[in-house]
Amino acid sequence: MNFSVAVYCGSRPGLDPAWAEQARIVGRWIALHGGRLVYGGGHNGLMGIVADAALEAGAQVLGVIPQALVEKEYAHHGCTELRIVQTMHERKRIMAEEADAFLALPGGIGTLEEFFEVWTWRQLGYHNKPVGLLNHKGHYDGLLRFMAYTVAQEFMGPWQMSLIEVGDEPESLLRSLVQSAGLSSAAGLDQI
C-alpha cells in the first residue's frame, strides 16, 4: 500500500446509474495505483459499490463501522480489514487518521457532514491533507453556488474555498489529490 484515500459516499445508490459507475471508477483507480480505500464499512449503495470495485481490482480496503450499524446488517464483511467501533465520532477519527486524502462522492447528510468536517479540520490546521469533491454531472453545483454566496457575504474567505479540490471526473481528481498529498511517486503517477 502506497497511499490511502478516504471516500465518503451514500449508503444508497442514487437515481442515476452514473453514480454507481463513478463509484466503480474510484474503487478501481485506487486499486490500480497501489492505494488503499478507507471508507465507512457498509455494503449498501455507493459505499458497497466503491468497496467491491476496489477489492475486485486488488486493493486493501479498510472499513470502519459503528456497532449499531453492524447489528442492522449493514457491515461489509468482505473488507480486507473491518474495524467495528462504538461511535460515529470514533469512526470519523479513525478514517481521518488512516487517510492521506479525502474524496466525497454523492451521498446524503452523512456524506455532507463528513466532507464538511474534514474540510473544517483542514482550515483549523488539524491536518493538511487534500480534500476533494466529485462534482460529476454538476451534482454539487448548488452547494458550490451556496458556498460562493457564503464567501460573498464574508462568512468565510476565498482561501477556505481553496482548501478543497473540485473535479467532474474521478480519475483526474484522484490524481490531483494524490499529487497534492505528495504521494505521486508512491502511486506511480510520475511514470504514467
pLDDT band at 182 (very low <50, low <70, confident <90, very high): confident
Distance from the Cα of residue 127 to its chain's centroid: 16
The Cα 164–Cα 177 span in angstroms is: 10
**Spacing of C-alpha 186 from chain mean position:** 19
CA distance 174 to 157: 25
How far apart CA 63 and CA 192 sit, in angstroms, is 29
- Domains for the chain: give ranges and CATH numbers: 3-181 (3.40.50.450)
pLDDT digits (tens, 9 = 90+) for 112-124: 999 999 999 999 9
- Give the span between the Cα atoms of 152 and 132, in whole angstroms: 22
Query: Percent of the chain at pLDDT above 70?
Result: 95
Higher pLDDT, 73 or 105: 105
Which three cell numbers, joined as nine digits, stand for 28?
A: 478501481
pLDDT at 184: 66
> Which of the pair, 94 or 2, is modelled with greater confidence?
94
Which three three-digit cell numbers place residue 115? Answer: 466532507
Q: How does pLDDT run across 4-46, given as a tens digit for each residue?
A: 999 999 999 999 999 999 999 999 999 999 999 999 999 999 9
pLDDT grade for 72, boundaries at 50, 70 and 90: confident
185 pLDDT exceeds 90?
Answer: no
The single-letter DSSP state of residue 42 is: B
The reported pLDDT for the residue numbered 183 is 75
Q: Which amino acid is at 8?
A: Y
Q: Quickly tell me which residue has 474503487 as its cell.
A: 27
pLDDT tops 60 at residue 156: yes
**Digit-coded pLDDT (tens) for 169-179:** 999 999 999 99
For residue 39, give the nearest of 26, 50, 25, 29 by alpha carbon. Answer: 50
pLDDT for 192 equals: 45
Can you tell me the distance from the alpha carbon of 29 to that of 32, in angstroms, rounded to the nearest whole number? 5
- Per-residue pLDDT, averaged over 91-103, amounts to 97
pTM value? 0.94
